[in-house]
Structure 1
Amino acid sequence: MQIQAESAPLAPLDDAGERHGLHVLAILSTLMGFASISTDLYLPAMPAMGRALNASEGTIEWTVSGYLIGFSLGQLFWGPISDRLGRKLPVAFGLLLFIIGSAGCALADSAMTMIAVRVLQAAGACAGVVLSRAMVRDLYEGYKAAQMMSTLITVMAIALLLGPIVGGQILALAGWRAIFWFLVLIGAATLLALTALPETLPPERRRQASLWRAFTGYGALLRDRRFLGYAGTGGFFYGAMFAYIAGTPFAYITYHHVPAQFYGLLFACGIVGIMASNLLNARLVKSLGSDRLLRWGAAGAALSGVILAATAWTDWGGLWGLAVPLFVFVTATGFIVANSIAGALGQHPDQAGAVSALVGATQYGTGILGSALVGAFADGTPWPMGWVIASLAIGSGLSAWLLIQRTDRV
């Protein structure tokens, strides 16, 4: 096994990361979770939103795509800025944008307005996500970075487990607009908690190059084949995940007549799978290597995606014919996301913010594609979701097996 060496001035001290304690873990988990809670919480409300805003199924699914546009492009802005100015200040500005955008969603009176303010909401939310990953790289290296990433995702998954369930209950009690007012409160509480978070990138480790040079540095990253392998594996998988997020409310609630309040329970099964695979990944990554686990996870996602496409086309197995392969597909998250992010960050530790931003932009850029394709080809059946997930999951598997050299890196 090979543990990648880093240059001494920029390598983080793992023992320094251990000293920061559980409150840092909690804040980083919350920041990383903004990408998901901003969407998962309102998934059960999508059909009701469509009726209230007089919008079609496909148009409401584009509220996910609009969010991903802001989330993908925003990361490219926040990453280089944080490498130069530190992590905390950009996160604070991002949270303010998130609060404003969430309030705009609650007040929206048309689908087009909703899509527009979702872009603003996402541009703020992505700051916390991209910079929480960079903070992990500031504090940890090697297999410990992959372990910490898995731990964060596991803690975050607890909130995701509750998201659709809580959203369904808020919908039943107070209507869909109350869901976005709840997000306003979450954003304000996180902004307050940010005062307890230490700055993980001290001035002596910040990049001194101009911001313009930092932005143009993305080109060098895109010429790195191994980086492209990590980014492609995670990116294609995220595209498939957002096809799942955009498609399952209508596949379950509209097509298979699952009550909106119980949709969250089906969604929660996938979150349990994510938590289990992340815990397993954290235990195995030191002995088996993050690259090997990444390849296995991508292969499993591709296989389950193909099975899903077949059951969605034939309607074999009814509801469970969809739910079972979707559970297997979602469970692969624990082996793909943490290892692909840690692998990409390990390639260029002196550009953790920019690397995290480009990885995130790739992930959510393909998420735009995945959710938009499901919306564009929506025909009232699960078939569009099935073939989109299968195609993108195969892309993830090919990236892992063809672009990442087999060094069994940990």
Structure 2
Amino acid sequence: MTNVSSSPPSANAPASGLAFSLVALLGILTAFGPMAIDMYLPSLPAMSADLGSNMADAQLTVASFLAGLAAGQLIYGPLSDRMGRRPPLMVGVILYTIASVGCVFATSMDSLIVLRFVQAVGGAAAPLIARAVISDRCSGIEAARAFSLLMLVMGASPILAPTLGGLILMVGGWRTIFWVLTAFGLVALVWAFIALPETFPAEKRNSRPKESMLKAFGQVLSNREILRFAMLASLGSACLFTYISNAANVMIGTYGIDPTFFGYVFGLNACAIVGSAQINRMLLNRHTPLKIVQAANMALLVLAALMLIGAVTDYAGKFGVLVPMFFIMACIGLTNSNATAMAMDVDRGRAGTVSSFVGFMHFAMGALFASVTGALADGTARPMAGAILLAAILGAVTLRLIHRARRLKAATV
């Protein structure tokens, strides 16, 4: 096992073993979730009206997608440890594409909620396999840099997707958006089939003892170090998906931002994630991933408190919420890639299963926070701001547990 908290090297080279073309493909695979969520956010009001429903039910299509991503994580990781990375990926992307076609022909909000869940179960394979491929090819600080590169590649989707979704909505309606998502799935499927190498070949799989899925998960769940790093990463996702699921209501409904400009505001916050991911790669030349996460979480606590004050008092109107949110997104860009890399590096022999658990935590926490804030929606930004502050507090508690465990381990050596 490589210790990701050791002193970082001074080199500023990309992660070894990862060609730019492979990073681009892995970025596309990681973008399945953002594309399927962000592109259709501007269409939620039109979609709910067309299906004779309301915005609260429309938000459930976001929560069901996150729940499907969480459930799908539990399937593909152990399978990829037994079968290799390519077969589960192909099956998952095909399921995603078929479900996307089903969403086009949905006749009720209930059917759309179910189809979104199925779409997510299929799409869950893509980011999971991308994480496993990185773990197969590199480790430690190199892995943290690779995850930062993925955030740079996938960061284009939150910037472009809402704007593209708004344009498609004006031209062809909300169903056309799902046709575009179908095409996205087909392109990813063909590209991966042609260009993705098998990074966990049969000789590697046969060199380790055979484990059942339950035993593999048992080994991962019994490792407290993995649990803590996965929790830390998932709390960043809780902040992100809380924002994503509430963005349309808060920006358009609460603060009256024109739907035409929603994509630009949304994309600006995505730029914060992309920019901080690039900064993270430079910071890794001088600091360990854990130190970067600790500093980012401290900043997150302050920013979330400021945003909650702005939401409660309305002292600066929409800017009291949107300005802190920009910098909160930057903190998430520093937290997620580093925490994910640290979790993946604990047990590299079970990279697929660890990736499953990390992904499950990401999306389960995101679905939980998105569902709760949706249920508490009161026409203000208060539920969103309060949930993000709670996630920041839980992140601080998790960091304290990590440091305590490391002190105890050092004392016993």
Both proteins in one fold, TM over 0.5: yes
Contact 1:16/1:139, CA 8 A, preserved across alignment:
no
Per-residue CA deviations over 1:317-370 (Å, capped at 9, x if unaligned) read 111111111111111122111101100011000010000110110110011111
Contact 2:34/2:157, CA 8 A, preserved across alignment:
no
Contact 1:235/1:396, CA 8 A, preserved across alignment:
no
Q: Which residue of 2 aligns with 1:12?
A: none
Runs of 4+, deviation exceeding 6 Å? none
- Whether 2:277 is the aligned partner of 1:304: answer no
CA distance in 2, matches of 1:16, 1:374: 39
Q: 1:41 aligns with which of 35, 39, 42?
A: 39
Letter in 1 for 2:115: V
Contact 1:147/1:282, CA 8 A, preserved across alignment:
yes
Residues 223 and 46 of structure 1: CA distance in aligned 2, closer, same or farther (over 3 Å):
same
* 1:145-160 alignment, distance < 5 Å: 145-160=143-158
Q: CA deviation at 1:75?
A: 0.7
Per-residue CA deviations over 1:150-183 (Å, capped at 9, x if unaligned) read 0111111023211111111111111111111100
Q: Which residue of 2 aligns with 1:268?
A: 267
Contact 1:147/1:285, CA 8 A, preserved across alignment:
yes
CA distance in 1, matches of 2:225, 2:278: 26
CA distance in 2, matches of 1:19, 1:349: 16
Per-residue CA deviations over 1:290-338 (Å, capped at 9, x if unaligned) read 1101111122222212221221122221111111111111111221111
SS of alignment partner, residue 288 of structure 1: coil
Contact 1:57/1:375, CA 8 A, preserved across alignment:
no
Letter in 2 for 1:161: I
Q: CA deviation at 1:132?
A: 0.3
Q: Which residue of 2 aligns with 1:117?
A: 115
SS of alignment partner, residue 285 of structure 2: helix
Q: Which residue of 1 aligns with 2:80?
A: 82
Letter in 2 for 1:81: L
Q: 1:182 aligns with which of 157, 180, 183?
A: 180
SS of alignment partner, residue 318 of structure 2: helix
Per-residue CA deviations over 1:382-402 (Å, capped at 9, x if unaligned) read 211121121122212321233
Structure 1, 356-365 or 294-303: larger mean CA deviation: 294-303
Structure 1, 296-305 or 16-25: larger mean CA deviation: 16-25
Q: Which residue of 2 aligns with 1:8?
A: none
Q: CA deviation at 1:107?
A: 1.2
Contact 2:134/2:143, CA 8 A, preserved across alignment:
yes
CA distance in 1, matches of 2:155, 2:406: 30
Q: CA deviation at 1:276?
A: 1.1
Per-residue CA deviations over 1:92-123 (Å, capped at 9, x if unaligned) read 11110110111111111111111100011001
Residues 124 and 314 of structure 1: CA distance in aligned 2, closer, same or farther (over 3 Å):
same
Q: Which residue of 2 aligns with 1:347?
A: 346
Q: CA deviation at 1:52?
A: 1.4
Q: Which residue of 1 aligns with 2:386?
A: 387
Contact 1:291/1:406, CA 8 A, preserved across alignment:
no
Q: Which residue of 2 aligns with 1:325?
A: 324
CA distance in 2, matches of 1:287, 1:214: 39
SS of alignment partner, residue 155 of structure 2: helix
CA distance in 2, matches of 1:274, 1:313: 26
Contact 2:144/2:338, CA 8 A, preserved across alignment:
yes
Contact 1:47/1:250, CA 8 A, preserved across alignment:
no
- Normalised by the length of structure 1, the TM-score is 0.92
Q: Which residue of 1 aligns with 2:10?
A: none
Structure 1, 75-84 or 49-58: larger mean CA deviation: 49-58
Q: Which residue of 1 aligns with 2:138?
A: 140
CA distance in 2, matches of 1:16, 1:90: 27
CA distance in 1, matches of 2:39, 2:233: 23
Contact 2:216/2:350, CA 8 A, preserved across alignment:
no
Contact 1:50/1:57, CA 8 A, preserved across alignment:
yes
Q: Which residue of 2 aligns with 1:252?
A: 251
CA distance in 2, matches of 1:83, 1:59: 38
Q: Which residue of 1 aligns with 2:373?
A: 374
Q: Which residue of 1 aligns with 2:9?
A: none
Letter in 1 for 2:309: A
Q: Which residue of 1 aligns with 2:239?
A: 240
Residues 290 and 406 of structure 1: CA distance in aligned 2, closer, same or farther (over 3 Å):
farther
SS of alignment partner, residue 73 of structure 2: helix
Q: Which runs of 5+ in 2 are unaligned?
A: 5-12, 408-413
- Normalised by the length of structure 2, the TM-score is 0.92
Q: CA deviation at 1:193?
A: 0.5
RMSD of the alignment, in Å?
1.9
Contact 1:135/1:200, CA 8 A, preserved across alignment:
yes
CA distance in 1, matches of 2:100, 2:232: 31
In the alignment of these two chains, the number of paired residues is 396
CA distance in 1, matches of 2:122, 2:106: 18
